[in-house]
Amino acid sequence: MAAAASIFAAVPRAPPVAVFKLTADFREDADSRKVNLGVGAYRTDEGLPWVLPVVRKVEQMIAGDGKLNHEYLPILGLPEFRANASRIALGDDSPAIKENRIGSVQSLGGTGALRIGAEFLRRWYNGTNNTATPVYVSSPTWENHNSVFLDAGFKDIRTYHYWDAAKRGLDLQGLLDDMEKAPEFSIFILHACAHNPTGTDPTPDQWKQIAAVMKRRFLFPFFDSAYQGFASGSLDKDAWAVRYFVSEGFELFCAQSFSKNFGLYNERVGNLTVVGKDADNVQRVLSQMEKIVRTTWSNPPSQGARIVATTLTSPQLFAEWKDNVKTMADRVLLMRSELRSRLESLGTPGTWNHITDQIGMFSFTGLNPKQVEYMIKEKHIYLMASGRINMCGLTTKNLDYVAKSIHEAVTKIQ
Amino acid sequence: MLWEQQVSFMHESLSRSSEEAQCSCFTQTPAWHRSCCSAWAPRNVAAVPGGGTRGLCPFCPYRAAARLLVSLVVRVLLSRADLGSCGAPRRAPSFSLTLRCSFPSSSWWSHVEMGPPDPILGVTEAFKRDTNSKKMNLGVGAYRDDNGKPYVLSCVRKAEAMIASKKMDKEYLPIGGLADFTRASAELALGENSEAFKSGRYVTVQGISGTGSLRIGANFLQRFFKSSRDVYLPKPSWGNHTPIFRDAGLQLQAYRYYDPKTCSLDFTGAMEDISKIPEKSIILLHACAHNPTGVDPRQEQWKELAAVVKKRNLLVYFDMAYQGFASGDINRDAWAVRHFIEQGINIVLSQSYAKNMGLYGERAGAFTVICSDAEEAKRVESQLKILIRPMYSNPPLNGARIASIILNTPELRKEWLVEVKGMADRIIGMRTQLVSNLKKEGSSHNWQHITDQIGMFCFTGLKPEQVERLIKEFSIYMTKDGRISMAGVTSGNVGYLAHAIHQVTK
């Protein structure tokens, strides 16, 4: 029986997602010196994934609790998770929480939170179904930001200046200029801390300037907070920008991820925090977000949310968690200072203070694509074409090799 | 003098066509602004189409006052208009008259309507509030044991214990999900002897239970199935099907399915309608245990449906949320899916493990595309990943891992088959008891459809007024369409239910 021509005969092969392809190539590499500085997941000094001790503890608690079942969560998620997740972002003494004008949507990771927020904004922001509202993402940004907003229906994704390659820091003036020129009501995706991929964050003073322009120009702040606690080691410090905007009276969204700071990558734990003018507005917003959730995943997965909620609601577990987070942040900070000092003592051309000025998991080394290719092909050190490295891939054992290799790349290749 | 300027400008701006209406500040010369405001800066000027400049003075109190006036008028006139690209209904913030430009006190979301309450959830809410000790919740579709309690399968507990003891890491899954799970899922649906399965001419990706899998498929069809935008659903279908396909950008049509006169399948009507569906449209079929009616075609009827669907060259989308849960036999419940594939129909399929493994809140599901060959399957897979990544990046592990361990561990798989049959048998038992109790009550109606129907749900045939009475007089909660979830029926309350139904129907 001959099959008719397939309806999918014309489906083209899509390119693989770059960062996962990098890891796949790394896995196939047989060289014993290989180092994976690609994908953004925490690694111990042994180069191994790390399940937070507090997470193991809570998992065992959950596994041993015969009273728990697998019933559906409400559409918006586990109530104890939602309330506490938002509290972590906004702070215990948040005026918005006190005034009962916040809402939360448990989501599948930070990506899911961004998507629900984007779908809502496309439907209800700046009119109804206004797909022409410009959405601004930083240049550069996490590459999935573009796709999230495009797939949500926005037609006009633009970039705002962010990374200054020459001075290897924040291009504040460019950023502010872009905000001045942006059409009113444009949506701006802001990295709450530990900017991905540059690791370069505005200072509090710079955030104040950004907020002032956004307020005056009626620009909508959509925060992406994937590294709270993981960046500086302090939850409060890493949430400063979001809380400042709230205190300035903004209505905003904040997409939170617990993938990194709880190490719960594959459980897909995220939260979309909504801050509105008053409870009534927030209620209506949540009711519409419910409809969006219902046609996307109906209700969110319970395991990860349970772990986070259990941890956040127990003073002892919460303290343990903060400690675990600080352990991760401190190791990253150590790797930064160690890498920088090695490059400086090797006399590698250029300045390397950006390695320690930058914050979070990632560092924009400044290596150009040719140098990156050299690193991968000749030295079996895998990093993104942008020159982004994951500091977590560094260990006390491979620091010397990586530093020497960067030195070679910079001196041999221009 | 200044106020006259403002008022004349206001008239001017209102008489402009909506296309030209400015969405922010007025068109005033820099000189005008400079004269009134110390916060003026040279860069606070923007060009406007057609020449001229626009002042953007941030702290001008005159601006604030005039804005308040204009906003009141504009709000009235433009509250319903769609102004197009610049930003539809001009949200009119009211500024307080201070020197400092304060934030608008109105919200971005003032125009957002309250979403309608979920009808099924509404049933549960009302049930919770009811204080009657005899109350019954026959609304939401989650299995309950004979004590009315949620049931965690023993094989699930065992799988969880295995997982906990292994202390595995929590690294990201691939975008397409856990490979052991997706492979086992395909095998469960297609059958281990399936040619399509053995040849590898399929792709299965992990989805967020049934809903997520349906949505991935809907988005995939919207993007790559260019022959049609129309999805044909049976009348009636699961309430969430329509919004899922609509949000994915497709259009909904219907074919006759349920015959309310007989409370069974309107097979003639279905065949008539389906034979008229335009070629290369998408048709959705419930693989087994139709939701909400519980009415499934018999195997001979499935054969005829396959033939007409093939003749019309339709793209078949199977929704299989109850494999094993319907008849108690996983192979019997997957018969239609397998038959269609054997007939050369390359279906797409969504599966859920919410009911048959009781994994509701863990969101385990899968979406499958049967392809011409393995090469095509690879291309399709790459595109599915492109769709999934901006939705939630990669799927949650826990539920898929539990399901995978069960399906891939022989003793646990055996245990699961026994347990899923146990659930199905209890439901079938309750159907039988309900009918016999109704007879005992002296009901003269024909209640055969209750035992003819299959799966979790039963379309009783009760009318809205009768449902209303059941809720108000007997505290028995169900949806207005007369659908009851048999899972909510127990040996302890089936007598009460029969009594109540008889009271409202005699």
pLDDT, one tens digit per residue, over B232-291 is 999 999 999 999 999 999 999 999 999 999 999 999 999 999 999 999 999 999 999 999
Q: Which residues of B touch A285 (CB under 8 A)?
A: 109, 112
CB A131 within 8 A of CB A377: no
Active site residue B447: no
Q: Give phi and psi for B120, each to the nearest 5.
A: -75, -40
> Do you find a cis peptide bond into B292, omega within 30 degrees of 0?
yes
Whether residues B164 and A6 touch (CB distance < 8 A) is answered with no
Query: At which residue do the structure tokens 């215990």 appear?
Result: A92
B55 vs B185: CA distance, rounded Å: 63
CB B75 within 8 A of CB B92: yes
Q: Which residues of A touch B173 (CB under 8 A)?
A: 266
Strand-pair category, A102-108 with B258-259: unpaired
CA B135 to mean position of chain CA atoms: 28
Give SS3 for A207.
helix
Interface ipTM: 0.94
For A211-236, the pLDDT digits (tens) are: 999 999 999 999 999 999 999 999 99
Closest Cα in chain A, distance from residue B241 (Å)? 8
The residue among B332, B89, B319, B55 whose CA lies nearest residue B211 is: B319
Closest Cα in chain A, distance from residue B221 (Å)? 10
Q: Is B29 a residue whose pLDDT tops 50? A: no
Angle subtended at Cα A292 by Cα A239 and Cα A99, rounded to the nearest 5 degrees: 40
A178 vs A173: CA distance, rounded Å: 9
Note which residues in 248-267 of chain A have CB less than 8 A from chain B.
248-251, 259, 263-267
**How sure is the predictor about B167, in pLDDT bands with cuts at 50, 70 and 90?**
confident
Q: Quick check: A216 contacting B, CB < 8 Å?
A: yes
Whether residues B382 and A288 touch (CB distance < 8 A) is answered with no
Closest Cα in chain A, distance from residue B331 (Å)? 25
CB B346 within 8 A of CB B136: no
B191 vs B337: CA distance, rounded Å: 10
CB A286 within 8 A of CB A106: no
The pLDDT value given to residue B70? 67
Tokens (6 digits) for A294? 């219902």
Q: Quick check: A54 contacting B, CB < 8 Å?
A: no
Helix, strand, coil in percent for chain B, rounding step 5: 45, 15, 40
Strand-pair category, B251-256 with B230-235: parallel
CB A90 within 8 A of CB A97: yes
Mean pLDDT of A403-412: 96
The one catalytic residue among A50, A142, A163, A240: A142
Other C-beta atoms lying within 10 Å of the C-beta of residue B463: 15
Q: What is the pTM of this model?
A: 0.88
**How sure is the predictor about A11, in pLDDT bands with cuts at 50, 70 and 90?**
confident
The pLDDT value given to residue A14? 85
Mutation choice for B interface testing from A133, A251, A274, A295 by most B CBs within 10 A: A295
A194 vs A253: CA distance, rounded Å: 18
Q: Over chain A, what is the mean pLDDT? A: 95
The pLDDT value given to residue A79? 97
B399 vs B70: CA distance, rounded Å: 56
For B372-416, the pLDDT digits (tens) are: 999 999 999 999 999 999 999 999 999 999 999 999 999 999 999
The residue among A148, A158, A388 whose CA lies nearest residue B389 is: A148
Q: Is A86 a residue whose pLDDT tops 50? A: yes
Closest partner residue to B150 (CB to CB) among A71, A107, A298 is A71
**How sure is the predictor about B50, in pLDDT bands with cuts at 50, 70 and 90?**
very low
Whether residues A148 and B227 touch (CB distance < 8 A) is answered with no
Mutation choice for B interface testing from A298, A299, A328, A390 by most B CBs within 10 A: A298
The one catalytic residue among A260, A321, A352, A379: A260
Q: Quick check: A167 contacting B, CB < 8 Å?
A: no
Q: Is B13 a residue whose pLDDT tops 70? A: no
Q: Quick check: A219 contacting B, CB < 8 Å?
A: no
Whether residues A268 and B390 touch (CB distance < 8 A) is answered with no
Closest partner residue to B164 (CB to CB) among A60, A151, A278 is A60
Distances from the Cα of B435 to the Cα of A264, B7, B423, angstroms: 49, 77, 19
Closest Cα in chain A, distance from residue B441 (Å)? 35
Active site residue B355: yes
Closest partner residue to B82 (CB to CB) among A127, A144, A287 is A127
Mutation choice for B interface testing from A142, A297, A328, A361 by most B CBs within 10 A: A297
Whether residues A13 and B376 touch (CB distance < 8 A) is answered with no
Tokens (6 digits) for A335? 């790797």
B486 vs B469: CA distance, rounded Å: 19
For A317-337, the pLDDT digits (tens) are: 999 999 999 999 999 999 999
**How sure is the predictor about B67, in pLDDT bands with cuts at 50, 70 and 90?**
low
Q: Is A370 a residue whose pLDDT tops 70? A: yes
The pLDDT value given to residue B78? 54
Whether residues A295 and B240 touch (CB distance < 8 A) is answered with yes
**3-state SS track over A137-148:** EEECCCCHHHHH
B171 vs B488: CA distance, rounded Å: 39
**How sure is the predictor about A21, in pLDDT bands with cuts at 50, 70 and 90?**
confident
Tokens (6 digits) for A264? 């719960």
Active site residue A163: no
Closest Cα in chain B, distance from residue A128 (Å)? 7
Q: Quick check: A377 contacting B, CB < 8 Å?
A: no
Mean pLDDT of B433-448: 96
C-alpha dihedral, A205 to A206 to A207 to A209, nearest 10° = 90
Residue of chain B with shortest Cα separation from A55: B170
Tokens (6 digits) for B172? 């990201």
